[in-house]
Copies of this chain bind each other. A is one copy, B any other.
Amino acid sequence: MKVLCLAGSLRKESLNKKFAQAAAGILAQQPGVNAEYLDLKDYPMPVYDGDVESESGLPQAVKQLGAKIAEVDALVVSTPEYNGSIPGVLKNGLDWLSRDTPMSIRGKHVLLLSVTPSGIGGMRGLWHSRVPFAVLGAHVYPDMMGIPSADTSLFAEDGTIADDGYKDSLTNILEQFVSFVP
């Protein structure tokens, strides 16, 4: 089984990037799972504009990202909450990907995670983010994991989760998720 881990954020020091990487590290240790981390910053896209698409087709980065997703069985997306909802960067990526053929998101299994310095664990963003994934035909896993009040001390120097409770929780939800993926 192939799993692609990514974050719904571009910022280099994003906690959600670190969390997606930690998830990839845990998944890589599970038998039969091939896990890869992907940085959205390596797939730079403009804001979606139908005129751009009409004139020059899908941007190369969209085609490349779509091809990466097409290869895997599942996505683990760790996303910040921007203004109580899905980040524009993540929604914009989905909008571009939705124009690709074949449309890579359809039928994929998706696990949503969130890490945030704020107090409510990105819960509003997670629930708001489920919608476009489901509309695009992805099977969004019912359980999600949000870590509130987080900062970089959540991570050890080697990028693993420093807090044992959170490490266990993440390991558990990842195990349950991949055991659900056929």
Contacts and interface: CB of A to CB of B under 8 A. Distances in A.
Contacts of A41: 49
A127 interface: yes
Contacts of A123: 120, 123-124
A90, A98, A130, A182 interface centre (most CB from chain B within 10 Å): A130
A82 to B, nearest CB: 5
A142 B137 contact: yes
A139 interface: yes
Counting every copy of the chain, the complex holds 4
Contacts of A88: 47-48, 88-96
Interface residues of A, number: 54
A135 B94 contact: no
Interface stretch (A9-17, A18-26, A27-35, A162-170): A9-17
A39 to B, nearest CB: 12
Interface of A: 9-12, 14, 41, 44-51, 82-96, 98, 119-121, 123-124, 127-128, 130-143, 148, 180, 182
